[in-house]
A and B are shown apart, each in its own frame.
Chain A
Amino acid sequence: MRCEKSGRIEVSNLCKRFHKAGKDPLQVLQNCTLTIEPGKLNVLIGPSGCGKSTLANILAGYDSPDSGEITIDGSPLKGPGTDRLMVFQETALWPWMTVMENVIFGPTVRGEMSKKEAREEATRILELVGLQDFKDKYPAQLSGGMQRRAELARALINRPKVMIMDEPFRGLDDLTRELMQEYYLKIFEKTNCTTLFITTELEEAIFLADRILIMTFLPGRIKTIIDVDLPRPRNYHVLTSKKYLQIKAEALEYLIEEGRKCFGEDCNIANTMVDEFRRQADNRH
């Protein structure tokens, strides 16, 4: 099973601003321009709260930008669709359906496959993600790692052009997370499905990525792109290679700069509060 080498997403000058009652509007994305290259594992990384999920929601079609253009393989993007499937931070499997029912949902509601065909296809894909023995279980009966894999299977059966993974391994314990990364990499190397993978973990980013897109802290845009030319197929040995360390050092420079901004703003707020407090104390004397 291989995805087609398509799904080139071009994002240009994307802007998004959130309004909250009683607060200044928050400019989350400003002139955000990037390209998601087809057949590659594009990893988007940035400090938390920098607008990664907002970007992902816009790309998936759940949210609309204030301005800017997005095209997929040249045609403008509108609304949610099967060509771009999203795997969420927390599992979004439907708890009342078995793993099998979850996986065959897409093809059957679109009427593309009969139930029987969908089941056969689903069996193949569940084997790919190692869940063949769990197909009749309900999501709550699976471990966290299995749930994520089931969700992956639910997306893969639709042969999407692009997979959008929004911190899919968040909330898993360290060991499971590392195993999932390896497992996921194997699946990716088999399918070569165009992917936008969002994470806050640099090690995860380098281990998985073909290219790393580093995002600035608010307002969010792409700060720089680092190509990761570590050989594939990869295993955990790359984590100790010289090349890996070089890339890590380079990426860290950029990330820490942005991380400081995110930290510093809080400091400013704290400073203002302290000043205000002092002023009030002075007035009382």
Chain B
Amino acid sequence: MSKTNISKDNSVANMFVKKEISFGKRLQKKLFNRTNINGTIAILGFFLIWHLLVVLRMPFMKHIPTPVTVLETFINLVTKKVYWVSLWFSTKRVFYGFVAAQVLGIPLGLAMGWSRKFKYLSFPVFEVLRPIPPLAWVPVSILFWPTNELSIAFITFIGAFFTIVLNVLRGVSSIDKELYRSALSLGAKPQHIFRKIILPASIPSIATGMMVGIGITWNVVIAAEMIAGDKGIGRLTWEGYLAGDTPTIIVGMISIGFAGWLSSGIVKIISDRMMPWRKLF
């Protein structure tokens, strides 16, 4: 009796040890896989080459500080409020513009895909407005909107809006006709077709539109801030230029890159959540 107990205990203990090892190994595998190692090497290499080019006084790098100086400036900036305020303002503008573009763009795209009549009515106007670059909207936007914040958010909105509409429209029109037909045969009414077929079928293209859109909004917000903004990371960068403060420019650029990367990551997570049937194996 007691013997069996002991062996049981042992096995339980073994299980624990085993689990711990496997967890540690898993973590190790997750952190030190080939992608991560290569990625780290590449980034370190990039900074090393940059540093060497400046230290070796290459003529085209005359105005560029070394990564070390940039890092110092970065550490200095991070402790200041202005940096975080700038980042916060840009993020806010991106968020409002992006969300507004989704909220208005997705229904519009769906409506254009759903009703041919509506598409014929709206598409010509849409196609004339679409090629106008977001930055060309800056003057009109400043005149039209009462506050600076609103006009920048509007320009950001313009950047993402046309992409999302076009993606959703293309998504709806490329749904296989068999998918409609089988629903029709089974007695589905238009509201079922819309809710259960068209909407889910267009989610992948909505996701694509969102991914492209978030990139564009970051592009646009920075440019808009440089032209028209006060505050914001774009403004910070531009002020660095005006003051002849190159390290700040580079810190600004890197921060924009990082913020853009982070937002894309969040959008990716959201879009994967929207289509569980895509992530299967």
Which residues of A are interface residues toward B (Cβ below 8 A)? 60-62, 80-82, 84-86, 88, 90, 92, 94-97, 105-106, 109-110, 138-141, 154, 158
A96-B277 in contact (CB<8A): yes
Q: Given A92-B176, A95-B277, A96-B201: A109 and B192 within 8 A (CB)? A: yes
B182-A92 in contact (CB<8A): yes
Nearest B residue (CB) for A160: B185
Render B184-210 as a binary contact track against A, CB cut-off 8 A, 1 for contact: 111111001000110011010000000
Nearest B residue (CB) for A101: B196
Which residues of B are interface residues toward A (Cβ below 8 A)? 176, 178-179, 181-189, 192, 196-197, 200-201, 203, 275-277, 280-281
Q: Given A88-B178, A90-B178, A96-B275: A140 and B185 within 8 A (CB)? A: no
Question: Which 4 A-B pairs have CB atoms at the shortest separation, nearest pair first?
Answer: A106-B186, A92-B178, A96-B200, A110-B187
Q: Can you list 16 A-B pairs, Cβ within 8 angstroms, ordered by A?
A: A60-B181, A60-B185, A62-B181, A80-B181, A82-B185, A82-B186, A86-B185, A94-B183, A96-B201, A109-B192, A110-B186, A110-B187, A138-B280, A139-B277, A154-B182, A154-B186
Q: How far is the CA of A138 from the CA of B281 in the complex (A)?
A: 11
Query: Which of chain B's residues have a CB closer than 8 A to the CB of A94?
Result: 179, 183, 196-197, 200-201
Residues of B contacting A: mostly: helix
B184-A80 in contact (CB<8A): yes
Q: How far is the CA of A90 from the CA of B182 in the complex (A)?
A: 12
Nearest A residue (CB) for B201: A96
A138-B277 in contact (CB<8A): yes
B179-A85 in contact (CB<8A): no
A84-B185 in contact (CB<8A): yes
Query: Which of chain B's residues have a CB closer than 8 A to the CB of A92?
Result: 176, 178-179, 181-182
> Which one of A80, A85, A110, A140 has the highest number of Cβ atoms from chain B below 10 Å of its Cβ?
A80
Query: Which of chain B's residues have a CB closer than 8 A to the CB of A81?
Result: 185, 187
Minimum C-beta distance from B2 to chain A (A): 43
Q: How far is the CA of A138 from the CA of B278 in the complex (A)?
A: 9
Minimum C-beta distance from A146 to chain B (A): 14
New contact pairs (15) apart from A105-B183, A105-B196, A154-B182, CB-CB < 8 Å: A62-B181, A62-B184, A80-B184, A82-B186, A82-B187, A86-B182, A94-B179, A94-B183, A96-B203, A96-B275, A105-B188, A106-B186, A138-B280, A141-B280, A158-B186
Query: Which of chain A's residues have a CB closer than 8 A to the CB of B183?
Result: 94, 105, 109
Q: How far is the CA of A138 from the CA of B178 in the complex (A)?
A: 18
Query: Which of chain A's residues have a CB closer than 8 A to the CB of B197?
Result: 94
Q: How far is the CA of A85 from the CA of B280 in the complex (A)?
A: 29
Minimum C-beta distance from A81 to chain B (A): 7
Minimum C-beta distance from B104 to chain A (A): 24
Query: Which of chain A's residues have a CB closer than 8 A to the CB of B185?
Result: 60-61, 80-82, 84-86
Query: Which of chain A's residues have a CB closer than 8 A to the CB of B192?
Result: 109
